[in-house]
Structure 1
Amino acid sequence: MMQHDGTLSLDEVARFDALAQDWWAPDGPMAPLHRMNPLRARWITQRLAKPLAGEILDIGCGAGLLAEALAKAGFSVLGLDAAEAAIAAARVHAQGQNLPLRYRAGRIEDVIAEGTRFPVVTALEVIEHVPDPQVFLQRLAEVLEPGGLLFVSTLNRSLRSLLTAKIGAEYILRLLPAGTHTWRQFIPPAQLATMAASAGLRVTASAGMSFDPWRGQWRESRDLSINYIMAFGKAA
């Protein structure tokens, strides 16, 4: 079931809510994100001014893997997710760490309606789970301050991603729960750039995120055929 102008699928919210209690288990269902997260956080923070005037809005934050990493790097962060159980798990995990970090259960439309804008917005591994990516990008642009930066990561809709990120990861190696991704919802980089341009955003940087099986680590690469991340700027 899908609702809310293309930015939210109730089925996807329920799927990730069900994973909330195991989100922070390093070898649990979110293990691939745990391994990828240092690269994602580093790639983003390398492109941010410090101190940052305002909070980072982390859309679709889940139980807070990226939000915590950004807060530990010294940035103030607001994590937003429609999955209430995931937000509850995020709050529990952050307790006692004294981080510049807060969480909120809700939708991006709620933030837009309040008139709040942010200098930096992140939406990592989210856009492939929404009903209408174009509408979602438009909402991301709306919540971004003029002159701000948006970071989006997702999966390319390629034969390699079908074989590795979908069939291999979910059904052969069992790295992710079966049904985590729908391959036809993956987005080629050129298509993402075009959709972003329609939302008033321009690409400022991009990189592939490739897994090195010999070191067991993710690394930045020029290969955007499977996982990739993009930065977008909004005109001042």
Structure 2
Amino acid sequence: MTRTSVIIPVRGLYGGKSRLASVLNADERAVLIGAMAKQVIDAVARAGIADSIIVVSREADLLPRLGTSGIRTELVHQPVHSAGLNAAIDLGRRDALRRKADRVLVLSADLPLLTATSIGCLAGDRVPADVTLVTDRAGVGTNALMLRGEAAIERFPFHFGQDSRRLHREAAADLATSYSERCVQEIAHDLDTPDDWAMLSREKRQDLLTPLSSPHLPSFGAIGIDPVAVLERA
């Protein structure tokens, strides 16, 4: 029986998505980051493919702030001395290995169109490779990476960031592991720039700017911002 761990790195609510600063201020971006992270966690839980959902963050209290108490999720704290996205994913990998996972799925936390169906489609590949990559819309980045088998899970080097598609493809070749790429629209659309934001429907943007139920998460109500006014401005 396959044991699957899903790793979702979330640096923190504040300080991220700086390229959206021209359309959303810091508090608005914090709400957006939280909403997207919770949506990704919810989609993984609904897909039913994960034995463990591992969220890696610098914020030790992130999960209660997101309001994920009803979902079986574990937070791995990323210490200050272990900075960066790839270091965070490595921490998640260690936890997955401790759980004896034989399949690991790394998912970006900023996928506003992600659904349980798209995750199930990726995980249910009938001819699985040791390494399966889902690109971003530009075809140069990596929005999801699935590793199968002991060798890939233990040894595959993470290169999330600039030109990661090429670097991950080369890493798979260096390890002589089987490799495949998938283009899944709901996974390919990440949210980093004003253009990414503008491509979303008005309804989706308003949904992402609606305060979550958790009283610990920054909300527009708490900081006196009207989501509709934000949409008009953006």
Say which one has the larger Rg: 2
Bin the TM-score by the shorter chain. Answer: 0.3 to 0.5
More RCO (CA 8 Å, sep 6+)? 2
TM-score, length-scaled by structure 1: 0.36
TM-score, length-scaled by structure 2: 0.37
Report which of the two has the higher share of strand.
Answer: 1
